[in-house]
Amino acid sequence: MKVLANDGISASGAAAIEASGHELITTKVAQDQLENYINEHQVDVVLVRSATTVRKALIDACPSIKGIGRGGVGMDNIDVEYARSKGLKVFNTPAASSDSVAELVMAHMRSLVRFMHDSNRQMPLDGDTQFAALKKAYANGIELKGRTLGIIGFGRIGQALAKLAIGAGMRVVFSDMHNEDVEVSLDFFDGQNATFTCKNVGFEGVLAESDFISLHVPGGDLIGATELAKMKDGIFLLNAARGGVINEEALLDALESGKVAGAGLDVFKNEPTPAIKVLMNGKISLTPHIGAATGEAQDRIGTELAAHINALAAEA
């Protein structure tokens, strides 16, 4: 099969695809040129990440396409149901990036409670002349141990985060419409493991009980002024799921009032041009949508995509 990886693919993924006899194209094609390129080269499978969109018009205009793959979890940049109604195979790699996203969320949490996100901005500017003042400004950190993390959306990523949080000594509660209480197993380097029960306390319970809240849902306007008002004073919010899940205007107001002590954001409402007020807020730890951007995750994504392509070829 002829495969276009329009948003790139890891070396291991490329090797796996080519080892199976498929022709891999890694040329980056502009969105407005994609239709012509696919038709000219008779592409069978289009692989995307978050940059390229595959909508109804493109599907209709490119009859050679037999499959669409998303390297990652969310498929909001693909018209999935329409593609499947036309007989196309649509697949993603939901398990491949779970640990990478979870580790990024923990990094944001640890950065926020010790002000590292802001001190790393200010130390290069004033560390040589205002050292004592900066030391005082960042002296009121807190520990994660003993705090409660509430996770909204307890799928693969949510559970991977729960394991890291439990390892840090945190209590974990969650909200998920599909799960009752869930047992998570921590596997250690020496082969030992331990099992912990995480309680499903419901959405309102997470809002009321948590010291930190991390969102792992596929989309929607979930957290606004009403929800923020139900949280503890000094809450920390984390979003590495979808931009817009937290209302950014309401978040900025809550940061200004002190209701929210800090936020860690990997995704934004207006990507790739996030609001300047969000980017400049000293209480927000920022990353540019890199949750799955580790070498290990990209290797797993690439090899999973290769397996899907092989299955599609076998059916053809």
- Residues with a known catalytic role: 242, 271, 289
Q: Which two tokens stand for residue 109?
A: 């949490």
Q: Which two tokens stand for residue 176?
A: 């998920």
45-48 sheet: strands from edge to edge: 23-25, 2-5, 45-48, 67-70, 89-92
Structural contact between residues 150 and 175, judged by C-beta atoms closer than 8 angstroms:
yes
Pairing of strands 148-152, 171-175: parallel
CA 295 from chain centre, in angstroms, equals 15
Phi and psi at 189, nearest 5°, equal -60, -25
